[in-house]
Amino acid sequence: MGLSIQQEKSAVFGQIAAAKVLIDDTNSKINQGQEMRESLRTISKDPINFLVDLVSELVGYESLKKAFSNILVNKLNDIEDKVKYAIKLNLKSLVNCGTNPEIPTNLKYSGQGYEFKLKDVDYSNIFKLSPTSTYGGLIYSDIDAQLNSVDLNTVLYNIIQDKDVEHLWGSQVGYGDITAFTFKPNTGNGPNMINIKASDNYSTNKKLTDWNNDYVDSVDLFPDAQFFGKVMDSVFNVFSQVIDKTVAQANVELLVDNAIDRLTNTDPNEFIDDSFFNVSNSELVLISEKARLKVLGITKLEGCYGYPQVTKPINVSNSMNAIASANGKTEKLKTVAKSIDNMANVATGLGNEQNKYTIKLNFFTELIKTLVKTITNMILSPKLILLFLVNFKIVDSTDTSFTGVDELMKIMKSLLKEIIDQVKGIVVSELLNIAMKEIKNMQGKVVGKIGKELVVNKQKVLLSLVGVPQDIIRLATKF
């Protein structure tokens, strides 16, 4: 009977340690094996954790910094293209089983449009923060252009400052007008509402899929500087220091994170139903504890010996400005790497000298593990939530009202699952490339130590690393 995956991979890590002894490289994480054993137990559903452990063992945290920097600088456009394609395909399937239906009368420019509560569009309350405020750049881009900004969230913020006035979106990014928005403030006890309809360009000879596709194409999903800021918020809860969050608000955001984590830890072909989003009492207790820290802008990195981690928003803001102003990929890679180092130094600031390496390694590990969550959270942003709500309104014959982001995620579960699997594939591929490169490097060093007559056997030992479970390799090459 063959060895289990866990036994095989345990043997692999033992072989790495043996090879490191041969080449006098004793910087090994093997003695800190609890994290390794956990990643082995969950390898089929969570290949990123396993590969983070593998890369950390082979090279150390510098390799994780390189992986993160490369994904931010060289992979974000590819991720955005794949995410946009998935959104278009899923919306087309949602509205009429893959056909191309007419634009509903209400959505046409001559119609009444669809109205949604502002609090449902902006569940994370980003519109509490003005783009022109000191830390507006943590969330918004192209701020000075205001209503002419190429960032739809910036445009939407300015629209809700101008009540009952229609504003068009599309020409700001080189398209014809695509969408008309009107902010309708509360009257009496009613909620603030935002009205959305297609522009007059879609009044004739246009289908709903045309409008959906143009809307998706017009939106910049992952501006690199704001992406970096969102990752740092995932690690340090830095936004809570500039947006007045309540514990209830933090709970909602953490429930979203919990759902994303669950979706991330599923097999590619695993079926997801609504019960998947149910939360146990023990999970709710843990989320409540995290929410209290979140509103204070505090986090605790795993393995950081109980030290609370706090960073000032100015640290993140300065790094984002440097990334945004960097010219060319080479300079941007250096800038991102330097920014990460600065944030890693913040993470290790409260640890003692003997723990600094482990704390820094945990920080870089967290950066990689939060990539999928960051990308999914940026999709659940007002500029795209509005589009999703319109399409769900069109297919909802009962005309029921939307009741929150948890309902949105249930309706979007197939799309979110597909996007998460896409991003997992890209991250896994990046980590696997680093691991294989280091394996080859280690082989060369082993040659010098044991001689050519033993190379064939030693190659088999080391190249067994490439024999990670087939589901990981399929995930890395599928997309």
How confident is the model over 170-193, as pLDDT tens digits? Answer: 999 999 999 999 999 987 778 899
Confidence at residue 465, expressed as pLDDT on a 0 to 100 scale: 47
Q: Give me the amino acid identity at 82.
A: K
Distance of CA 352 to the CA centre of its chain: 31
Percent of the chain scoring above 70 in pLDDT: 76
Closest listed residue to residue 36, CA positions, set 65, 16, 63: 16
Which alpha helices (DSSP H) does 136-246 contain, by range? 152-159, 208-218, 224-236
Q: What are phi and psi of 162, to 5 degrees?
A: -125, 80
Residue 404, sorted as left (phi over 0), alpha (psi -120 to 50) or beta, turns out to be left
Segment 107-161, tens digit of pLDDT: 999 999 999 999 889 988 899 999 999 999 999 999 999 999 999 999 999 999 9
**Stretch 326-330: mean pLDDT, rounded?**
93
The arithmetic mean of pLDDT across residues 64-89, rounded, is 92
- State the DSSP code for 192: P
9: pLDDT confidence band, cut at 50, 70 and 90?
A: very low
CA distances from 209 to 74, 217, 409, 427, 436 (A): 30, 12, 21, 30, 42
- Alpha-carbon distances, residue 462 vs 57, 232, 447, 467 (angstroms): 13, 35, 12, 10
Task: Supply the pLDDT for residue 388.
Answer: 92
Determine what percent of the chain falls in helix, strand and coil, rounding each to the nearest 5.
65, 5, 30
pTM over 0.85: no
Q: Is the pLDDT of residue 216 over 60?
A: yes
**What's the pLDDT score for residue 431?**
86
| 451-473 pLDDT tens trace | 544 444 444 444 344 445 555 54
pLDDT digits (tens, 9 = 90+) for 17-42: 555 544 455 454 444 444 444 554 45
Return phi, psi of residue 179, to 5°. -135, 145
Residue 78 has what pLDDT? Answer: 92
